[in-house]
Structures are given as structure tokens and as C-alpha cells.
Structure 1
Amino acid sequence: MDATARPSFLSWNWTSPKMPGVQDDSYAAWFFQQLQDFRSEGHLVDVTLCAEGTEIPCHRLVLSACTDYFRAMFRGGHPESRKDKIEMLGVNGEALESLVTYAYTSNINITMDNVQSLFEAANMLQVKPVEEGCEKFLKDKLSPETCLRTWALADKLSYTCLSAKARSYALKKFEDVCETEEFLQLPVDFLKMYITDEGLHARKEERVLEAIIHWAIHNLEERQRHLEEMLACVRFSSVNQSLLKNIIESDQVLSDALGIKEQIKKGSRHARPRQIHQEEIILVGGCTDHGPANADFKTEANLFMYRLNLRFDVIDCKPVPRFLKHMESSAVCVVNSDIFLTGGGEYPTQAFRYNSSLNYWTKLASLWEERVCHGMVALNGQAYAVGGMDPVDYDRKLSSVEVYREKTKSWKKVKPLKVGVRNFGIAACCNKIYIFGGELASTTIQCYDPSQKEWTVKSMQLPEPALCVRACPVNSKIYLVGGSFTCVHRYDPQLDCLEKMTAEPLKSWDHCSAFVCGSEIYITGGLSKLFHHYLTTPHARVQCYDMNSDTMTMGFLKDLPIPLCSHHAVTLSKHYS
């Protein structure tokens, strides 16, 4: 097309309500083409950007329309507004050329080779659409080979959510990350920050030591001076002594260079072993779907118990015992690494215990009351069954509370709730039990003090109805997720105040389960809404809330083995030999 030729269409934009506007989208494409032609011909070009020897002729008007950075630069008062050539310091030449091309075409090609320089340039020049494109690209491309550089880049550019996701990925995939070339290139400060993070998923302390040695040998001459500092991060009291002996005896030169003998002597300083990786996830109960062939999206009971590691790999999967095959609306809690399960389904008074060391279920004494849609919590080594509803009379909300006495092997009733509720959040924190919402008291917080043997209703009211929420206690605070909540909330029991966090679910979390691991809350499964909310079906996605950065991430962990809703997901301590 001739640069001066008009497109062969009419474009009307009437304001009269009698004549609706008519607009042809091809005008935008034609207009962009005109701008490119003007630029390539040098027509009306009034400025040249220079970066790393690259000169890019362009128009002030186009640059100002694309980004506030250039709009501010070319307005009066800045020396650059009068210059014909502007040196763009700190910007990669190729990235700058790509951004200028984007300003003229609205198109840009993001690759692994150019994403870092492009992200930094777009951040500096405030080209928001390209920044967001780079952020999404890096999130989608997270892998053991990319997570460390993405973490560092996101920190540098203050992209909190991306940094949190890359950090969480790197910590969980440590076993894979330390085998990459990217790990060997880490600066000493970043490596130290990485391996000392309490969230590091190193199954054994030997793996941390091996990773440091591998990193040091990669450039021993340069890195030898940092070894004392790095080896001080290893918790030698948890390292296999035969491995240490083998390192010392097999290569005297290496052991002397690493200074490992001296560090072993100081090993008692790190007597506390890493704990976060010494846990397993137990999935039990709830409902799943019939699979893709099911057209009406009906659910069926989950008849299996899954043991997973913290990467959500399946360690074991077994059918539940016959007496546990109907656990709908039951409740669980963990006491001394054993799971207590009560009520629900066809056995609303029955109680069971799962012995994690023996991998075996046993039946306990029956509850005093039939309970469904109730809650359980562990406090001071005892299991409490709280509230719920009568399985025969759904309108009858229970206020009764029972505690299991290990000495008598029986349940004993204690002081009842102030308000009977079902489908609520429950947590033990600061030596008290807290109840959040539930039907009939959806914005109420109730508190039980065992020393006073009394329930009270807190003056603090929840900002929105809390139905089927999950309450997760962490460091004298309680985080509320799932159910009817639209975002994460944090409750401070000592101040009786509630703070609304910024993180929102990335996937539906109605009828989900949640558990705490380190500084993160894992939110598993739930119900997905289909067809304009008329139908729902369980899903298998795992969302991860990082309490340190107040961000929600999803996608770098495996899904649950099956879609689940209204299930129980808990963690149990697991010690590896």
C-alpha cells in the first residue's frame, strides 16, 4: 500500500443515539503501518535514542504515547527535550530497539535469550504491557534451570509475586536445582541466602554439603576464600559421619582446601536439624468426581488414603478400611503425629485413630453426640470435637464440645459453645481454641480458654460471612483461607484484631483443605464452578500462600493425585534415616 493512500473503508463514530457508531478495526493496523513507514523513511523523525553503540531514530510523539517515562522526558524542563540524540545509559541496545519497535507495532517477541534485558529495560522505561508480558513469560517458564535467575531478577525489579513464586519453586526443587549449571554460577551471597532458608527442601543434610562442595570445586581457586563462611551453613551434627570420614580420607588436598575438618569441630553450633522437609502429607476422605466421561458432574466418596511428600509425589496409596468408607462431613486433627477422625457419614458417633508409625487405623470410644459438619482441633496433646449439626435434624446446630482423655480412653463433655455452629473454621493458638464463623454465627469469633473452662464471644467481628473457611495457626497468628472468603485474612488473638491480606485465590477454594508448612500455607482441591455457577466439580489444583510476601502462587507443584473437595489434608512428621 502507498504510504499516503487511505484505506478503502469508511470509519464513522457518530455520537447520535439514533445512529450507532461504525468502526473498522483494520484502521488501527493501517495507522501502525503508517508510523512504521514514517520511521523507516526518516519522515518527521525528531530524536535518536542511543544505547551500547546502537542508534534508533524515532518520533517523540510515538515514544510519549507509549510510556510515561518518555512523556515526562520530552515535556519542558528536561535537557533531553531539546536534544537530537539521547544516550540511554543502563539499557541494553537490543532491548531498547525491541521496545521502540513495540511502540510502533504493539508487537514484541519474548524469548529466554532476551527476557532479562527486556524486563529490565521495560521496567526502567515504564513500558507496563511489556513488563507484564515478561513477568508472565518467566512464571510460565519456571524450571530448575531458570528459577534462581528469575528469583534474583524479580528481587532486583521489586516484583514481589514473581520473586515469591521463583523462591518457593527453588526451595522446593533444591534436589534438582543444585544439579544445574545455574547453581554453579551463583554468587556467594545468593548461595548463602538460598541454603540457609528455613524452607529449603533438602531431604538430608548431606545433600546441602555435597551441593556446597560441588559449587566450590567449580572454581576452587576463586571460591576457596568463601568456604569457611559457606561450610558454617551446614548443620554437621545431622551429617552422616561415614560420609565426612570418606571426604576427609579420599582426597586430602580437597579436604584441606575445604577446611572441612575445622567445620566438623564447630558442628555443634548447628545442633538443630532442618525440619521442613521431614514431613509427609496425608490425604483422606472427601469427594472426587467420576472422571471426564461423567456428564452430570456428580461426585462420589474418595475411598483411598494417599501419602505424599512435599513435592506432592505419591509415596503410598491404599484403600481405606471398610469402616472408613463413608466419611462425608467428618473432621480430623493431628495429636502427637497421629490422626484423630470423628463423626460424619454413616458413623456420626464413631471415632478413629491413625497411627502414623505403624500405618494402621484403630477404632476409639464413641462420641457422646452424633456429629456431622463439625470441627476438630488439638490442644495441649488432646483432641477436641466441636459443634456441628445433628445428622437427622439438620436445623439443630450443636454447641456441645468433647475432649478425648487418653487415660480413660474415652470422650468427656466440656463447656459448650456460646453459639452452636456448623461448617466453621477452627484453630488452636496461644493455648486457646478459636472458632471462626459458621452457619448461624457467620461473622462471630468464639474462644475457649481451657484454664478457665469457659467460652467467650470476641468483640472482633469478621468482615464477611465465614462458611467452610480453614484456620491455620502460625507464630501466634491465625490465617483464614478458603470457603466463602474472597481473600486471605490474618487474625491476631492477642490484640483481637483482623487484617485483610492482599492475596486472593488463583483457583476456587470452596470446600478446600489447607495445612501449614514452614512459612507457607498449602490450599488443596476444592470445587470449581462450571457453566455460570450452575454446576460444580472437584478439582486437583494446589495453591500456595507465602506468608512472608503475602502472595499466592500455583502451578509449580504437582496436582493432587485425584480431584478432591471436602477432604482432609494434614502433615505428619517423617524422619528419614
Structure 2
Amino acid sequence: MDTDIEELDLESGGDGCYRNGDALFGILAELRQAGKFCDAVIKVKNQSYPIHRNIMSACSPYFKSLFTSHAFSTQKKEITIPGLPAEVVRLLIDFAYTRTARLTPENIELLLPVADQYHVTGLLKLCCEYLHRNLSHENCIGILQFAQAHNCRGLEKSAIRYTLKNFGSVYSSSNEYLQLSLDMVCSLLSSDQLNVSCEEYVFDAICRWVDYNPQRKIHMKRLLTTVRLGLLPVPVFEGKVKSHRLIKNNNEVKQLISDTEAFLAELDKSEEPDFDMSLPFARPRVPHEILFVIGGWSGGRPIKMVETYDTRADRWVVCKAEDSTPRAYHGVVAIDCLIYVIGGFDATECFNSCRVFDARTKIWSEIAPMNIKRSYVSVALLDGLIYAMGGFEGPPRTPSGVISSPRLRSVERFNPKANQWTLIANMRERRSDASATTFQGEVYICGGFNGSECLCSAEVYNPHTDQWTLIPPMSSRRSGVGVITYNGAIYAVGGFDGVTRTNTAEKYSPSDRTWTNIPDMYNTRSNFGIEVIDEMLFVIGGFNGETTIYNVECYDTQSNEWYNATDMNLYKSALSACVVRDLPDVRDYVYKKAELPRKLPLQQVPTQQTDSQAAASVSVIGATTASVGSNTQGMPLSNLSASTLPVSLPSVPSPFSS
């Protein structure tokens, strides 16, 4: 039976029970249990089950055909179902009466084929949903094959998606992967949707599958074509692939290895290396996560640009669906495919307004405003609720022109379902330009500026007690800091210490309440974006003390090193970033070489400024102005492509002062 679970609306809990609230089903079940009005008997082995023919006929076209057939004896009133366990038949009959079935790992493999064979559609859908909900690294391939065998198309799609998305864990830990056929292995490994951060892992998956049965080495030519060899770093290709025992003396793959060598050599010579999308072995795969960067401050003014980062192509893409209003010093949070933009500043006033961007429909809309205006706001997401902490209200000013509004201690929480903000307990300290994250059910906020000095303090919020508690301070004062949870610790990166922008970073272990230094970034920066994607910590743009920058770098906790990534399209600080996962139309946000170089609007034509001109621009603590600077941030020029030239807007002073 061709069943697509994506079209279902099942009233089912995680316990595997499919429920129907109609009281009629309970009454019918009671009548059957009492043996009243039963007009047929189903026999299996030594068990007999009195039933009502009309109920069984309504449950299944098979039973309807059986009980209305001339071959059915109304005098005998019984049928025998051979070859089935009595327990499975009992569950099938119970489902016909109650529309409820309790599924377990022990009975699901028997019950689904029976539901399919006897056309009990409701039970088959439940079985598919149960398997869908219980997909894991260890069983996803088995469920995929099970779904294919019984023509459950929706479950098959779901299992394929799960396998591709979690392929790193699947190939390294699943014994089912080792049992796959050559065709299935090649189908998975060649998919554009295969979720691997580096093609090295695809080669590892091939080697594991071949090593399980050495006779499979005769298929190396076909297997190797599934690896995007042209995307491999040269050291990995030379040191791991080319020299591998399965490759080195294999004449069948020599041509492919030679072609790859030539391609990588030509790519290395190019001043502006780019992808050749026409070459299967050099075409990036489609990412399962997209990094969004929204708004910011560039050329002395806020902007409304939206950029997305394609991790597989290591390229930034300008998104056409920008908001109608520019804003900087705001917060951004992603919930599923919705991106919430909180507060900020538009060069005239601070906002309490909030917007939401649906990355599927590409439509912006307004949501409920906060109770208090907040720029330099810190935001975090916990249990589906958005927290907005501290910040700066902006004017009014005193007669002398000094801003009198203090930095904020207040905190409010947004419930997206109710579209409502609620004030909660104040923080222990006033903080603007801080940064926040969540860890194990609590909200952490670090650093910031209290109106007179940059802060090294940090505190944690417990939503159950509605209470903030100070934790040990950071080793450095940090305003315009980036804070994020990564690999079981809380990282505080960069910022302004009251004297200079810094490239230092440290991490906090909540279990032992200690801060530990990690290696320095390549670039000093404050007021930048920070996110974790592909199991790496990314820092994006910011202000280095002289100019806004477009540089991006990432930290890998396993190697304990920072690496350069491709620069953004626009120099900017005061931006905010988030990651959206599993977008249905993800190709709308990924790199496409076929696109012509982006033509900028007139107001975004690059302008040249000296560093002294840039340094003369004024901004709030931790905030910056912008100018075009030379590429002196440790980023090789070869990382730039012709379609991603940096841009800066003409500089105008910020109305804020520190």
C-alpha cells in the first residue's frame, strides 16, 4: 500500500497510541467484549475472536470484500486467518474497534506487514508514524529498507532524510550501513543532500564499507566517483586519498585521481578560485543549516541587508528578502524557520518594536512590541521563549545634551504562541552591549557596559525561581562581546575592555565554575555576530577599533584552533546572526555560481576612507562606525571571489555618545 505519512494528521502521542475521541468506538468495543450482536468469528490458531462484520468491513477494504463475498458462509459465520500470531490478529481487531493500538519495538515489525497485507490503512499509518518518531542512528537504514519493502513512501522519505542529515553518526556507528548494497551506498553518498562538513568523511564512509568485506574493493572506481574530490583540501587529498592502500595501486581510479590533481592544481593557481558547478566532483552539496546575518551598522548608518552563509560552498549570499526598516544593535533568534528580530536602533531612535521573518515564505511581519525600548539588547532562546535582557533606551537627554537614560537591568520574555511580552526579574547589574546564551535550562549573560565602565561580571537566570545569580567574573572586561554555548561550555569572545578591542577569548565551565582562556582570534573585534554551525564556532564582522570589518573566522574545539572563512559581502558591525535548520527551500539561500556579480544600489557604491577618517567617527561603547580598510586582518585575498567584493557606505557620525 502506498502510504505517505506526510499527509497524515494523526492524534498520536509519543507512546505509539493512535486515539479517536468518538465515544461510539468505546461502545462498540464493549459490545464485542460482551459478545453482543456479533455476527462472525475470526479464528487464528487456537484462538477465536467474535466480531461484527460491519465494523471490520469499515476498517479494511479486505474485510469488506471478504464479508460481502458470496463465498462467505452466513451459516458458518467464521473465517480462519492462517500463519499469523494470535496476538497480532488481536491487535488488528482491537484497532478496528477502538482506533487505538499500543506499538512496541517487539510487535511493530509484525504488525506493519499485517496492516499492509489486510489493508488496515489507519493502523498502517500509525505504524509508519511510530517508526518515524523512533528513527535513530542505529535503525534508520533498517527502517528505510523496511519502508521500501512495504511501499510506505512517506516513511521512506523520512528515513532517507534522517539518514542523509545524520550521516556522520550513521556511517560511523551503524552496523546496518555495513550491510547495504553497492547501489544503496552509492545512492546515499552521491546525494546533494548528504550532510557532511568535509568530503573526507565520505571517503571514510567508503573505506569502512569496503573494509567490512574486502571483496568490495573491486567497486572502488564507482564508489570514488561519489566523493566530491575537487572540494577536498589538497593536504587531505594528497596525504589521505591518493596515498590510501585502496587507491594507490588501483589502475581503475588513476584517471579520476589525475583529473582531480589537475583540477586542484589549477584551483591553487587561481587568484579568484571558485566552484565549477558543471563538474560533479567539484559541486558543493546542499547544506542542512543556513547561517543568517541580519542588519548591522556600516558606513556610519544602520542597514537592512540580509546575508546567508553556505557552509558547504564557504560563500556568502545576499538575500533579496530584506526588511523595510534598517536596524543595528538588535537581537536575533531563530525558532524553526522563523527569525525574530528584537529591538535595535535606526540612527534616530531605539526600538521596542520586533519583527519576524519567515524563511520559507520570505515574508516579514510585525509582532508584539516589547514593554521597553532596547538597543544593544542581549537575546536568548530557552524552551521556546525569547528573552530580551538589558540594553539602552536612548533619549531623553539632559539640557547639556548628555543622555540621561541609564543602561537597563530589566528583562522581558516573549511567548511566540501568545504573541506577548512579560517582564520578569531584573538582572543584578545594568547591562547594555552584553551577550547571552542558554545552557541546561538556564540563561547566562556576560559582560556589557553599565553606563560608566565595561563589565567582566556574568550572571545566570533560573526560570523556575525567577532569580538571577552572579557567577564568577570573566578574566577580562568585555563590552560588545560575543557569548555562546559550544561543546558543553559557555564561550565569551572578543569585545571592548574600556581601552581597546580585543581578540582574546575564554570559556566557562558551569560544572566547576571556572573560566579558562582559549587561543586568540586572528582579528580584534567587538559588536560582531556569533553562532555555532557545523560543530564550529563562527565570529562574523564587527569593529576592530579603527574600521568595521567583514572578516569571518571559526574556532574548532577539537583542534583548539581558529581558521579563516570567506569574508562577508559588506563591512559591518552591530549585526546579529542565527542558524535556521532544515529549510524546505534551502536552495534559495545557497551559493549559485550561475548568478551574475551583484549590482549594488547607488547608496552602496564603495567609497575609500582613511583610517584616521574612520577613527574620527563617533559611537556608543562597543559600537562602531565604518570605512573601507585594506585587507590586513589575516584573511588571504585569494578567499575573495569577484561576486563578493566588500562594500562600505559613506560614514556619518552616530547620534549616540558614551
Q: RCO higher in 1 or 2 (8 Å CA, sep ≥ 6)?
A: 2
TM-score normalised by L of structure 1: 0.49
